[in-house]
Chain A
Amino acid sequence: MQKAYTNIIQIAGDVITVEAEGVGYLDIAEITSRRGVSLAQVIRIDSQKIFLQVFAGSRGISTGDKVRFLGHPMRVATGDNLLGRIFNGNGLPLDHGPVLSEDLVDIGGPPVNPVKRIIPDKMIRTGIPMIDVFNSLVESQKLPIFSIAGEPYNELLSRIAIQVEIDIIILGGMGLKYDDYLFFKETLNKQGALSRSIFFMHTAADPVVECLLVPDIALAVAEDFALKGKRVLVLLSDMTNFADALKEISITMEQVPSNRGYPGDLYSQLASRYEKAVDFQGAGSITILAVTTMPGDDVTHPVPDNTGYITEGQLYLKGSIIEPFGSLSRLKQQVNGKTRSDHRAIMDMMIQLFASYRQAIEKQSMGFQMSAWDNKLLKYGKLFEDNLMSLKVNIPLERALDLGWQILADSFSPEETGIKRSIIEQYWPKK
């Protein structure tokens, strides 16, 4: 019943322009070319001219090809049938299983009414002291991992995924290396987590703009599960690729770039995805962990910069450790007051002292004389790095706190730590 149009009047970048009538903004179309059928989305309407971004790329599209508008926005199947399945960036199966078309929901649905949100207060324990003690992860948090290429961010993601208690894991891969995709699959499989996972995979070999749909699809599915009471963890890797795809389209559409070629609405675009993280009153929740690779380790690059303003903190992965400075969980205060009475004191003072340790290191490297205090700091920093900071450490929060006290006691006298007396009296290790 939908009419097919064949008058493509312009092909520029991955955007084609076709003359058509009665087309809705953001509707989906199918383009049949010699390379097969590809999906496309309406991104601008100018009277008869309809601009479409073609997810499979415009390569090989002829001006005589057929464009068929489906008359609805992008939709994705939801429900338990998806569990254990692997799909591509358009929601089509990659695992030889059947195509799913039940319980279709529109992607990119409306925002949650703020008054229907609840204050997140459930800590997610990861067994990683740098997260549990210093930057506690909280259910419904949106937290990116800032990292440079080559850091073990995907390892960290998968480790968190299998160690935390959560009902469903949804992995959205954008420009993921095929090896990394296999790594995720194997790790989750080995830990028996594959049956509660869903993959939406866009690999580095796929057309760039195809990854634009991945976050929306992954989050639409997650939202459906969350509304049904499930606690969902969404892993997105890597959001910088997503932003780059946005950049490509906006340049093609001749939009004025704001900063290093990125569109002016980059913040809003990223925010509308990240803000899907939510704890529904009386239903489930969505927690988002995303990887943002920083070109040139530059945190002021527009993608990590805008991300940092949106997310509730960030984990800064550098030199294979979660860097204590720069890493921050904004929601930690919601949960770390209820764990153990020394949690906050340990968290604050260990980091302040670690800052002094870094200064002492600097001093040492410049060849200055080390004072007795500096030597204490050096000892402390080393103990901290080896016993708590290493990603190899895998211990519960309480043991990590005890270990923190031990490290302090091995290095300092109580008043040198600057911790309040009442806490010292209760927790300072007795020799």
Chain B
Amino acid sequence: MENKRIGHIIKVNANMVVAEVAGHIIQNEVAYILHGTERLKAEVIRVRANRAEMQVYENTAGLKVGQEVEFSDELLSVELGPGLLGQIFDGLQNPLPALAEKCGFFLKRGVYLEALPDETQWDFTPLVKPGDKVLAGSWLGFVPEKIFKHYIMVPFALSGSLEVISIAASGKYNLKQSIAQVRNSTGKVHDVFLQQIWPVKIPICAYAEKLRPLEPLVTKMRLIDSFFPVSRGGTYCIPGPFGAGKTVLQQLTSRHAEVDIVIIAACGERAGEVVETLKTFPELVDPRTNKPLIDRTVIICNTSSMPVAARESSVYTAATIAEYYRQMGLNVLLLADSTSRWAQAMREMSGRLEEIPGEEAFPSYLESRIASFYERAGLVRLHNGLTGSVTIGGTISPAGGNFEEPVTQATLKVVGAFHGLSRERSDARRYPAIDPLISWSKYKGFIEQEKEDLGHEILRRSHEIFQMMKVIGEEGTSLKDYIQYLKGEFFDFVYLQQNAFDAVDEATPKERQVYIFNFIYDIMLAEFKLDNKQEALHFFQKLRQLLRTWNSAAWGSEEFKKIEEEIEIFLAARA
């Protein structure tokens, strides 16, 4: 017998609502506030005696004391199944295009639609037969989704060894039709559907083991790949003051990174930036698959003017979808922009709960929440021996651009690479504005280690000389040092900097990076016949212009070769 637990509102404080409930209350369960004809989704975040303290995922205007609250018995969950790719969801997995069709320009509160339409028919092919032994996460069959085989898996919630009792024949099925039955060791039989439900705040762990991330993830950004590489299954963060180009960097990565699937979690940032992704991705072609980029992308978007609590859930929703595709042996990249907004959503709620605040009023559990989020990344070996990975890259928007603040510090403890953006570099229009002097990476890239080290050394030395020159002046600097300084600047301009608005220069594939890096490496080591500073400056200015033109020439084209020859001749004249 259905016996819905009902509570009544007794307190309203912005998006925190307290209700008195008769009967039990489950921590983190979903509740609905009944406001006229509207049903507003909320999540229980603290229980005190018979009072449920809830964060409401909607605007709470007009709520009154005494209004009913219906408790659902379920944790906040998402639907996982074919049809996720190419979708645009809000933080609660509401499909935004469908909402727009229904409600027009504005996001009407209390309207929730199915994330995946039930009636869509999928072409199922079985991979197992009755009697086969399987585990949670084992592949039972697949349906085609965009360019991928979308594997249908044994529900992650089941445990122990299971036996396949029945499996559907090849054919068309919708999300609500059972395609298999499995029996566990106690004899209980479970139906398996194309779709499964999973609570977002719990990681999916239906794999054999987690491995060390060793293989580089190519982002086609020279500064990242050559100097501060990220591994597949690794984590990295991009803190930076506003205007330093965090979002542009994320957008470029989402386009060019060599992964199977990209999940973009636009969390509490500008709507305009999401729109750019939304509108351009269907038209941009992924060079590796010749299909539109949107086909490999899922966008979770909870922009800054959308309800704050849903911002908190949006990163979990994104992580869950990423983990789901990892279970299919795919390489997934999750880009979260910005984790500071997510942390701020926690802070707002913590304040309303009147918890004792930590630094800058962030809750004391900030660090552990950040750590457990980044820990959802990883390279894993599945039960069938194949591997899959989730790489997480999060931007941070530190208050005042100061990296000493709690969110940046908590993140730096748990990530494998740090791409720190600096105001000085962005003011000087040196993009990407990743500061090579403060950034680091624990992962191994594809550039030879000693060459990479020398690159770092040249940049450091050049910077030192520059600082020194500020004090002792150019005239006090030796020609040798001055040339060292110019070399560093030259290296920065033609290799580290990349023009995001140049069709060729915006993405540099691995082979080209290695080739250009080695080419410049030789220039770095070479001695040139330069008699005075004036001449040296002029020489490197000219060389810089040549290299920049070279950077805009397509890889392997006639033009590319022509410019290369021109550079060789130019260099030979001074060798």
Interface residues of A (CB under 8 A from B): 21-27, 44-48, 73, 108-120, 140, 227, 255-259, 263-265, 267-268, 271-272, 275-276, 280, 299-302, 305-306, 308-310, 312-314, 325-326, 328, 330-331, 333, 337, 344, 348, 351-352, 355, 362-363, 366, 368-369, 371-374, 415-416, 418, 420-421
Chain B residue nearest in CB terms to A373: B537
Query: Are A114 and B347 in contact, CB atoms less than 8 angstroms apart?
Result: no
Is B264's CB within 8 Å of the partner chain A? Answer: no
Contact B542 A257, beta carbon cutoff 8 Å: no
- In the assembly, what is the distance between CA of A418 and CA of B12, in Å? 61
Decide if B357 is an interface residue (CB 8 Å cutoff).
yes
Using Cβ atoms and an 8 Å threshold, which residues of chain A touch B14? 44, 265
26 examples of A-B residue contacts, CB within 8 angstroms? A25-B62, A25-B64, A45-B13, A46-B10, A73-B62, A113-B105, A114-B274, A115-B88, A115-B278, A116-B104, A256-B357, A258-B347, A265-B14, A265-B344, A268-B268, A275-B303, A276-B305, A306-B399, A309-B397, A325-B427, A337-B501, A366-B473, A368-B474, A369-B475, A415-B541, A420-B548
Q: Are A267 and B105 in contact (CB under 8 A)?
A: no
The chain B residues found within 8 Å of chain A, CB to CB, are 10-14, 59-66, 88, 96-97, 99-100, 103-109, 241-243, 268, 270-272, 274-276, 278-280, 301, 303-306, 308, 341, 344, 347-348, 351, 354, 357, 360-362, 397, 399-402, 427-429, 470, 473-475, 501, 533-534, 537-538, 541-542, 544-545, 548-549, 552
- Complex contact A116–B105 (CB within 8 A): yes
Measured CA separation A405–B97 after assembly (Å) = 46
Are A264 and B470 within 8 A (Cβ)? no
A120-B272, A268-B304, A275-B304 are known; give 6 further A-B pairs, CB within 8 A.
A26-B60, A45-B12, A118-B279, A312-B272, A328-B243, A418-B548
What is the CB-to-nearest-CB distance from A324 to chain B, in angstroms, rounded to a whole number? Answer: 9
User: Which of chain A's residues has its CB closest to B346's CB?
Assistant: A264
A416 with B541: CB separation less than 8 A: yes
Q: Evaluate contact between A415 and B361: CB separation under 8 angstroms.
A: no
Given A47-B10, A272-B305, A280-B361 contact (CB < 8 Å): no
The 5 closest A-B pairs by CB, nearest first: A300-B400, A368-B473, A271-B304, A275-B305, A308-B242
Given contacts A25-B63, A110-B109, A113-B105, contact A275 B271 (CB under 8 A): yes
A115–B96 touching, CB < 8 Å: yes
Check if B105 sits within 8 Å of A112, measured CB to CB: yes
Instruction: With both chains docked as a complex, state the minimum distance between the C-beta of A183 and any C-beta of chain B, in angstroms.
Output: 30
The contact of A373 among B64, B96, B428, B534, by CB within 8 Å, is: B534
Q: How many A-B residue pairs have CB under 8 A?
A: 214
Min Cβ gap B104→A in Å is 7
Q: Closest approach, in angstroms, between the C-beta of B313 and any C-beta of chain A?
A: 15
The smallest C-beta distance from B68 to any residue of chain A, in angstroms, reads 14
Contacts of B361 in A (CB 8 A): 256-259, 264
Q: Which chain A positions have C-beta within 8 A of B542? A: 415
User: In the complex, what residues of B have CB within 8 A of residue A27's CB?
Assistant: 62
Q: Which residues of chain A are near B397, meaning CB under 8 Å?
A: 309
Of the residues A227, A264, A371, contact of B348 by C-beta under 8 Å? A264
Bound-state Cα–Cα, A108 to B473, Å: 57
Could you say which residues of chain A place their CB within 8 Å of the CB of B60?
Answer: 25-26
A115 touching B97 in the complex, CB below 8 Å, given contacts A264-B344, A264-B347, A373-B534? yes
- Chain A residues with Cβ under 8 A from B351's Cβ? 255-256, 258, 263-265
Q: Is the CB of B100 within 8 A of A25?
A: no
Task: Please indicate the chain A residues that have their CB under 8 angstroms from the CB of B549 in the complex.
Answer: 420-421
Complex Cα gap A368–B477 (Å):
12
A406 to B10, alpha carbons, bound, how many Å?
Answer: 71
Give Cα distance in the complex from A305 to B344, angstroms.
14
Whether A333 touches B501, Cβ cut-off 8 Å, given contacts A113-B107, A272-B305, is yes
Closest to B473 in A: A368
- Roughly how many angstroms separate A10 CA and B474 CA in the complex, as a whole number? 69
Q: Is the CB of A372 within 8 A of B474?
A: no
> What separation, in Å, do the CA atoms of A325 and B426 have in the docked complex?
9
Measured between beta carbons, the chain B residues less than 8 angstroms from A264 are 344, 347-348, 351, 361
Distance in angstroms from A57 CB to nearest chain B CB is: 22
Report which residue of B107, B108, B354 has the largest number of chain A beta carbons within 10 angstroms of its beta carbon.
B107
Q: Which residues of B contact A421 (CB under 8 A)?
A: 545, 549
Q: Can you name the residue of chain B whose Cβ is closest to the Cβ of A140?
A: B272
Residues of A within 8 A of B545 (CB): 415, 418, 420-421
CA distance A48 to B64 in the complex (A): 10
B548 touches A351 (CB 8 A): no
